[in-house]
Amino acid sequence: MKTIRCITAALFLSVLLVASGAPAQQPGGTIIMALGADPETLNPGITTGYAVGAITANIFSGLIRLGPRGEVLPQLATAWQVAPDARTYTFTLRRGVRWHDGRPFSAADVKFSLEEIAGKFHGRFRIAYANVESVTTPNASTVVIRMKTPFAPFLKMLDTFNAPIMARHLFAGEDIARSPRNLQPVGTGPFVFQSWARGDRVVLVRNPNYWEPVYPDRLIFRIIPNAAQRSTALETGEVDVVTDFYLSKTDVPRLRQNKNLRLRFGQPIPALDFMFINTRRSPLASAKVRQALAFAINRDQIVLQAMAGIARPAKGPFGDGFKFAYTPETDYTRLYPYSPERALKLLEEAGVARGSLRLSMVFDAARAPLAAAAQIIRDNLRQVGITVDLVPLERSVMIDRVYVKADYDLTVQSFTSNTDPAIGYHRIYLTAPSGQPFVNATGYSNPEVDRLLALAAQTSVVEERAKIYAQVNAILARDLPTLILFDEVGVDAARAHLRNLWQGLDARDAWWLVWGAK
Amino acid sequence: MDGSLPLWRYILGRLLQAVPLLVGILVVNFLLIALAPGDPVTVLLGEYPAPPEYVARLRDEFGLDRPVYVRLGRYIANVLQGNLGFSFAYQVPVVRLVLERLGNTLLLMGTSMTLAALAGLLLGVVSARRPHSPLDSGAMALSLVGYSIPEFWLGQLLVLLFAVALGWLPAQGIRSTRQEYVGLAAALDVGRHLILPAMALSFRYIALIARITRAAMLEVMHQDFIVAARARGVDERRVLWRHGLRNAAIPVATVIGYNYAFILAGSALVETVFGWPGVGRLLFDAILQRDTPVLLGVLLLVSVTVVLVNLVTDVLYAYLDPRVRY
Amino acid sequence: MVASVEAVTGFTESRSLMDFWRRYRRNRLAVAGLFLVLALSLVALLAPLLAPYDPMSTSLDSLQPPGTSRHPLGTDDLGRDILSGVIWGTRVSLLVGVTAAATAVLIGIILGAVAGYYGGYTDAVIMRLTELFQTIPRFVLALVVVALFGRGLAKLVLVIGLLAWPQAARLVRGQFLSQKSLPYVDAARALGLPGWRIIFSEILPNVLAPVIVLASLDVAQAILLEASLGFFGLGDPNVVSWGGMLNHAQGYLRTAWWMSVFPGLGIALAVLGFNLVGDGLNDAINPRLHE
């Protein structure tokens, strides 16, 4: 009886499925993604630009790839072993892989890419590579990497976004930065580069020799510099996908109502938005004044208005994106709630007369949420008698002003953790080499903090890392060289007809697995 | 002296006058950007710090370390050879970059000016036929308003009305993304996308041309031979069209020609509102990216085209009206 | 003296102020323009009293549509009152417009007078300069200058003023060329008056009328240029300006139409006003034979 009922139920369900026109998991169709700007190049080994990665993640592969929960999955490597002392990695490479130009792939390509391309030029991988002692290839399908010191996030950095594997036979002996190969990329990935019409679109087509089924026929990247226009294009179906980096949060409430769209909330790769405070400058050198700023700034308002409520007000010096880096004792909502009165009191104690302080606020003019945050901060500080002059600057001028010349009082910036605080967040507080962009620009230098953060980078055991971060947080929450504003919450949007989306940690990854494209 | 130079002498004179102008433009452009603060190299590096040797190498390759006069000399020499430099951000020769976008801008400008000429002439003629009638007063008032409305605001209003509220026309871009049209369908697709931006850009010049046409027509209408023709019973409309329009043609053509620089500026603004991939938007992006060679290239190109268009307009004017050749 | 100049130069209308005003008043559009300009000037002057809020103060009332008593024109995404923004924006636009036009006209008068009166080499050099500045498109050049050298109201006024002088210079030069061969100038020279006195005390007053017309039109152009730069995001970030508001509105066209409509209306009215006044002045000074 039960069996008959089961069979009937199954039949019924399958008829239902077929009748409802459930899309069959067939290959085919085109997926159109929106980008906010042309990529600078199509070589992901020499730059970390977002648009570059978005396109080339489909053309080039890494040794591994990261799944939706951050798990390490095979890509060019089918198996790997990590020695117990975490100083040797042995990778077994996939066989039968060919480059898009037909030549066979081998371990020599891996060695070349790590040593000569990513290890030398890639902004993030360079840091990891500094820990590498040697890369050897005992045979054409094996790669052995020996480390000088263990580096906890190393394995996860061997994906296409940090260590893309590129063809040795095309780049060996060439001037990599200016090579014409950078405009005609040849990789081992699921898609082959077809064309690039600058300012308009980049077109990729399916790689018939990929070792896994590739569902879409084509990927098209449309370049739409205006954020509002990207949202419009999504609504009208002109594009299928807009990832978080290019999605204006203020459009999200409207997009949520649209039945043809599916939005994914969440931040698989945490990112922080914060305000550097130039501790070299007179009243800001006092920790009391910095704390006053923390009381005066309404982080909830910033989240509500600059991010349309789609962010999490900051909870500590490393936000709360990583559980082990968040310490409840140093939660900002307890330590520094929004309170103009307490701010005024602290300013008075620090000897700053009301109305006497005038600060400059520098920011990247092209980043709308940062601009909005700056305006709100300006208004907040006005309430406690501090005048703020807004200085919106073009990106490279801003970089020069903030990181090279340190000519600013306050600046709002955002950094991605890039999957681990050691990769992306430590640089906010570490003593910085002067003149380099995207590091600690506050002038804050605390040897104890440096020591603890270096230790945290080497420790792989989560509970021990948490203890170290607890110590660091205690110091940083008191010193406040940087005021963390909020943890970003990512919103990726796609048209509802696409299936099996977001199979990679990074929204730009795993597009060959998506089916249902028209 | 009534200036009865032969046309070719006039052209030659004007050409010679143009040369120091071009040199002046080059020098102004270059000095401007050489004196400005900031470092364009950093843009290429993306989000993270890069090895200092790489940065130094980039700096050296793009000649940013050399003294100003060396760079200027190199620049002028290059321009004369047709090389406008290499874009930092796009890694292609500036000339190629600009040429790729130029077609789209010319399309927009050309369509707008044709629309402006046709609509303006029509409006002007219709107004002139019955001066001071409600139609005339209305048209002239409208043209005054039209001349004062900023084209980027008008663009936004058109988007609000036709794209957002009514949904009749696309709000942005030059062609549809999804469909890849070919042939006639492709042309129609571009045409559809062209309507709103062309309307936004042309509005002010419709107004201007309408006013000029009207004034020119009225001027003609009172001249003796018109009155005589009317007395003879010749069809009034034919009279109006032939003589009036001919009188209006010169100022209309020269208005468009001499306003070319402003039309170009308007195009840059309209291109921004509508995401139209033309030279104007390239300029905007280049400013954001501090892409010095592209900035220089676009400024130079734009100024040179102004010189050319002024030249052509002068010659056209001189051809039509020999009195002005001096 | 005045009578003889009239007879020689052929001015047929009396040049008294009353007659001029009578002629101007007859043109309804010109009067409307004057009214508009005066009204806007009043708003600009009284901005602190008229605006219900500080235009830059944020609130939690974001994206309110117009029509409420608290925010008659609505609010933007950061809760800033649009009405207050439009009122204070009047101040910025008029300030920049008038000072930029004044700068341009001042430079133009000086250079044009010198070129027209002295002629020769000076004239040639100045003419070359005006040609150069009239060829390089103003907007593009202003864009580049502001983008490279930084924002700020003072810089904006300077840039716009420095780019607009050629027209005034040419006008003044032309006027000087025609005036300088007149008897009264010879008389002044014969009296031994120094060159600069002749320029500024004798000739200049006679050529001011068309210059004032140009000045009015220049204000309109300057307001438009300032708004355009603001729209490109290159305005002064520490003040609220109409162009800046339109730039901000670009991102909210689908959500908040009021962020775009009202500031744009302000620009249109201001430009219209000064254009009408300029046209009216022109007609009053040189009345054409109307039908």
Question: Which residues of chain A are within 8 Å of residue C252 when distances are taken between CB atoms?
Answer: 228, 250
CB atoms within 10 A of CB C52: 12
Distance CA C42, CA C44 (A): 5
**Chain A residue whose CA is closest to C250:** A228
- Using one digit for the tens of pLDDT, what is the confidence trace for B195-216? 999 999 999 999 988 888 888 7
Residue A378 to residue C56, Cβ atoms within 8 A: yes
Question: Which residues of chain A are within 8 Å of residue C76 when distances are taken between CB atoms?
Answer: none
Instruction: Say whether residue C174 is in contact with chain A using an 8 A CB cutoff.
Output: no
* Per-residue exposure over B227-263, b if at least 16 CB sit within 10 Å of its own CB, e if not: eebeeeeeeeeebbeebbbebbebbbbbbbbbbbbbb
Residue A289 has pLDDT above 90, yes or no: yes
- Using one digit for the tens of pLDDT, what is the confidence trace for A354-386? 888 999 999 988 788 999 999 999 999 999 999
Instruction: Say whether residue A281 is in contact with chain C using an 8 A CB cutoff.
Output: no
CA distance C191 to chain B (A): 33
Contacts 24+ apart (CB under 8 A), C64-68: C65/C256, C65/C258, C66/C258, C66/C262
CA distance A362 to chain C (A): 11
What are the structural domain ranges in chain B? 7-37+84-325
Distance CA A405, CA A409 (A): 12
Superfamily holding B7-37+84-325:
MetI-like (1.10.3720.10)
A198 closest CB neighbour out of B90, B177, B178 = B90
**Chain A residue whose CA is closest to B279:** A199
**Chain B residue whose CA is closest to A201:** B177
SS3 of C237-260: the string is CCCCCHHHHHHHHHHHCCCCCHHH
Instruction: Say whether residue C147 is in contact with chain A using an 8 A CB cutoff.
Output: yes
Interface of A with C in 194-253 (CB under 8 A): 226-228, 231-232, 248, 250-251
Q: Map residue A68 onto helix, strand or coil.
A: coil
**Per-residue model confidence (pLDDT) at position B42:** 46
Q: How many residues does chain A have?
A: 518
- E runs forming strands in A339-448: 357-364, 386-393, 410-416
C128 closest CB neighbour out of B20, B33, B298 = B20
Segment holding B134, helix H or strand E: helix B134-148
C136 closest CB neighbour out of B28, B147, B171 = B28
Distance CA A126, CA A120 (A): 6
* pTM for this prediction: 0.80
Question: Which residues of chain C are within 8 Å of residue A251 when distances are taken between CB atoms?
Answer: 254-255
**Per-residue model confidence (pLDDT) at position C80:** 93
Per-residue pLDDT tens, chain C, 291 aa: give them: 333 343 334 344 445 677 777 777 877 888 889 999 999 999 999 999 999 999 988 888 888 899 988 899 999 989 999 999 999 999 999 999 999 999 999 999 888 888 888 888 888 888 888 888 888 888 888 887 877 677 788 888 888 888 888 888 888 888 888 777 788 878 888 888 787 777 777 777 777 888 888 899 999 999 999 999 888 878 888 899 999 999 888 888 888 899 999 999 999 999 999 999 998 888 887 765 443
Residue from C28, C126, C131, C140 whose CB has the most chain B CBs within 10 Å, to mutate:
C140
A228 closest CB neighbour out of C62, C151, C250 = C250
**Per-residue model confidence (pLDDT) at position A8:** 66
Q: Which alpha helices (DSSP H) does C27-81 contain, by range?
A: 28-45, 47-50
- Using one digit for the tens of pLDDT, what is the confidence trace for B81-102? 776 666 655 667 778 888 888 8
Q: To the nearest whole percent, how much of chain A has pLDDT over 70? A: 95
- Of the candidates A81, A87, A145, the one whose C-alpha atom is nearest the C-alpha of residue A113 is A145
User: What is the CATH classification number for the domain harbouring C165?
Assistant: 1.10.3720.10
**Per-residue model confidence (pLDDT) at position C7:** 39
Whether C11 maps to a domain, the answer reads no
Question: Which residues of chain B are within 8 Å of residue C148 when distances are taken between CB atoms?
Answer: 32-33, 36-38
- Name residue B236's amino acid: E
CA distance C82 to chain A (A): 16
B51 closest CB neighbour out of A48, A120, A229 = A120
Segment holding A32, helix H or strand E: strand A30-35
Whether C12 maps to a domain, the answer reads no
**Per-residue model confidence (pLDDT) at position C2:** 37
Distance CA B158, CA A284 (A): 48
CB contact at 8 A, B209 and B252: yes
Residues 6+ apart with CB under 8 A from A281: A409
pLDDT band at B323 (very low <50, low <70, confident <90, very high): low
- Of the candidates C179, C189, C254, C251, the one whose C-alpha atom is nearest the C-alpha of residue C209 is C179
CA distance A221 to chain B (A): 10
Show the tokens assigned to A86.
Answer: 């975490």
| β-sheet bridge partners, residue A191 | A206
Instruction: Specify whether the backbone of C62 is left (phi greater than 0), alpha (psi in -120 to 50) or beta.
Output: beta
Residue from A301, A359, A362, A401 whose CB has the most chain C CBs within 10 Å, to mutate:
A301
CA distance C194 to chain B (A): 32
Rounded (5°) CA angle C83-C87-C92 = 135
**Per-residue model confidence (pLDDT) at position C258:** 93
Task: Read off the pLDDT of each residue in A398-420 and give the average, rounded to a whole number.
Answer: 89
* Domains identified in chain C, total number: 1
**Per-residue model confidence (pLDDT) at position B138:** 84
Give the Å distances, CA to CA, from B107 to B103, B174, B324: 6, 11, 31
Residue-range definition of the domain harbouring residue C181: 17-46+74-290
Question: Which residues of chain A are within 8 Å of residue C58 when distances are taken between CB atoms?
Answer: 301, 305, 375-376, 379
- Of the candidates B228, B214, B202, B238, the one whose C-alpha atom is nearest the C-alpha of residue B109 is B202
- Using one digit for the tens of pLDDT, what is the confidence trace for B37-87? 555 454 333 333 445 666 676 566 545 566 767 767 766 776 777 766 666
Question: Which residues of chain C are within 8 Å of residue A226 when distances are taken between CB atoms?
Answer: 250
Segment holding A463, helix H or strand E: helix A462-479
Question: Which residues of chain C are within 8 Å of residue B303 when distances are taken between CB atoms?
Answer: 135-137
Strand A482-488 and strand A271-277: pairing?
antiparallel
CA distance B183 to chain C (A): 33
CB contact at 8 A, C188 and C59: no
Residue C148 to residue B218, Cβ atoms within 8 A: no
Task: Read off the pLDDT of each residue in A211-229 and give the average, rounded to a whole number.
Answer: 89
CB contact at 8 A, A479 and A330: no
Distance CA B294, CA B90 (A): 9
DSSP B13-38: HHHHHHHHHHHHHHHHHHHHHHT--S
Residue A392 to residue C238, Cβ atoms within 8 A: no
Question: Which residues of chain B are within 8 Å of residue A220 when distances are taken between CB atoms?
Answer: 177
Task: Read off the pLDDT of each residue in B15-30 and give the average, rounded to a whole number.
Answer: 84
- Of the candidates C205, C201, C211, C200, the one whose C-alpha atom is nearest the C-alpha of residue C174 is C211
Task: Read off the pLDDT of each residue in B187-192 and give the average, rounded to a whole number.
Answer: 89
Q: Count contacts between A and C (CB, < 8 Å).
A: 51
Distance CA A5, CA A13 (A): 12
- Using one digit for the tens of pLDDT, what is the confidence trace for A37-49? 888 789 999 888 8
Show the tokens assigned to A114.
Answer: 């790590």
**Chain C residue whose CA is closest to A247:** C251
**Per-residue model confidence (pLDDT) at position A19:** 53
CB contact at 8 A, C266 and C242: yes
- Of the candidates A381, A384, A341, the one whose C-alpha atom is nearest the C-alpha of residue A360 is A381
